[in-house]
Amino acid sequence: QKEVEQNSGPLSVPEGAIASLNCTYSDRVSQSFFWYRQYSGKSPELIMSIYSNGDKEDGRFTAQLNKASQYVSLLIRDSQPSDSATYLCAVYNNNDMRFGAGTRLTVKP
């Protein structure tokens, strides 16, 4: 069974700190990896995608992928209170998109 595992949190960091979110997946042949942010009562929105091993940076966000370890992470630098949300890791392979349970992040002013 294909699984995507995330620490449900809550993860609490002070404003300005680095938030680190982790995700592991079980399907070795997974092709694409995504991080979505979901505010309460809203639909998820895509914030990062990563397809190859290594780091990918976009503004304050850095996604890291290690296919050998089946591990993907998201770093948020200079965390802001507006970053407080649930972050969903998603793994895609062959028309199948699976989500982790999400990690709830709280950034305290």
Partner 1 sequence: GAVVSQHPSWVICKSGTSVKIECRSLDFQATTMFWYRQFPKQSLMLMATSNEGSKATYEQGVEKDKFLINHASLTLSTLTVTSAHPEDSSFYICSASLVGGTEAFFGQGTRLTVV
Q: Among 99, 98, 57, 92, which Cα is nearest to 77's? A: 57
Closest contact distance (angstroms) between CB of 18 and partner 1 is 24
Question: Which one of 9-17, 18-26, 37-45, 67-75 is the stretch in contact with partner 1 (CB under 8 A)?
Answer: 37-45
One residue of 20, 56, 101, 106 binding partner 1 per CB under 8 A: 101
Q: State in Å, rounded, how far the first CA of the chain is from the last one.
A: 40
Q: Which is nearer to partner 1, 21 or 88 (CB)?
A: 88
Residue 88 makes contact with partner 1 by CB under 8 A: yes
Residue 32 makes contact with partner 1 by CB under 8 A: yes
Residue 64 makes contact with partner 1 by CB under 8 A: no
Residue 52 makes contact with partner 1 by CB under 8 A: no
Spatial separation of the C-alpha atoms in residues 109 and 92, rounded to whole Å: 35
HSE at residue 105, side-chain half, CA atoms within 13 A, is 29
| Cα distances (Å, whole numbers) of residue 50 to 9, 46, 58, 65 | 23, 12, 11, 7
- Note the residues at the interface with partner 1 (CB under 8 A): 31-32, 34, 36, 41-46, 49, 51, 88, 90, 92, 95-102
